[in-house]
Amino acid sequence: MPKLKSKSGAKKRFSLTASGKVRANQANKQHGMIKRTNKQIRNQRGTTTLSPQDAKIVKQFLNG
């Protein structure tokens, strides 16, 4: 059997932490910041960890 390839899009969007959690960029930050509250913009800085249900799917994409 040939080796399975990882999903290229997942490689660019997600990374794994040392403990195995999936790190992702915050959603709803691409455009339209003028209509969002300052609190929302402040809380969406940096990255977030995915929920276990979503992380399971992303790990399958990353492992091929």
Q: What is the pTM of this model?
A: 0.80
The predicted pLDDT at position 64 comes to 75
What are 25's two structure tokens?
A: 């960029």
In the chain, the domains with their CATH numbers are: 8-63 (4.10.410.60)
pLDDT, tens only, 16-30? 999 999 999 999 999
Please list the rounded mean pLDDT of every run of 10 residues in the chain (64 residues). Answer: 92 96 95 95 96 97 88
